[in-house]
């Protein structure tokens, strides 16, 4: 009898099942959102710390209005979240799937931009 893997949300994950059309569309939109170097840099920065728009702009070397526009789009897409503290809004990435995806891609790419080699196989 085969055992089925459980997804991180408790749902069953079947590697043999094709994704639905809805899943493919949302996945494509997620990748489109992350296809911008500025957005990817913002997400990476927010994976590691919670910041407001001014601090984010300074951290990545971009203009505040540009960063603000990107943050609004990514928040609507569900890639980042925000919380208000007085007059300031702080942004973060708290979805473990987004954190994992971004960390995986940067683990896969060496600092010089080449694809990093796969780690050596462990086992027998």
Query: Does the predicted model carry a pTM greater than 0.85?
Result: no
CA distance 65 to 9: 36
Name the DSSP class of 91: E
Give the gyration radius of the chain's Cα atoms: 17
- Give pLDDT tens digits for 89-100: 999 999 999 999
Return the pLDDT at 13. Answer: 55
User: Domain spanning 36-108 has what CATH number?
Assistant: 1.10.10.10
- Give pLDDT tens digits for 39-76: 999 999 999 899 999 999 999 999 999 999 999 999 99
Return the pLDDT at 104. Answer: 93
Q: Write down the domain spans for the chain.
A: 36-108
Helix (H, G, I), strand (E, B) or coil at 50: coil
């Amino acid at each position: 009898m085969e055992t089925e893997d459980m997804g991180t949300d408790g749902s069953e994950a079947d590697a043999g099942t094709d994704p639905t059309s809805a899943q493919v569309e949302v996945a494509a939109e997620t990748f489109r959102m992350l296809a911008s170097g500025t957005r990817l840099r913002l997400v990476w920065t927010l994976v590691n710390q919670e910041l407001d728009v001014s601090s984010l702009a300074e951290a990545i070397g971009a203009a505040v209005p540009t960063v603000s526009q990107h943050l609004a789009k990514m928040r609507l897409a569900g890639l980042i979240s925000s919380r208000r503290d007085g007059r300031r809004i702080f942004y973060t990435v708290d979805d473990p799937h987004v954190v994992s995806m971004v960390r995986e891609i940067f683990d896969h790419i060496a600092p010089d931009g080449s694809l990093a080699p796969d780690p050596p196989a462990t086992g027998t």
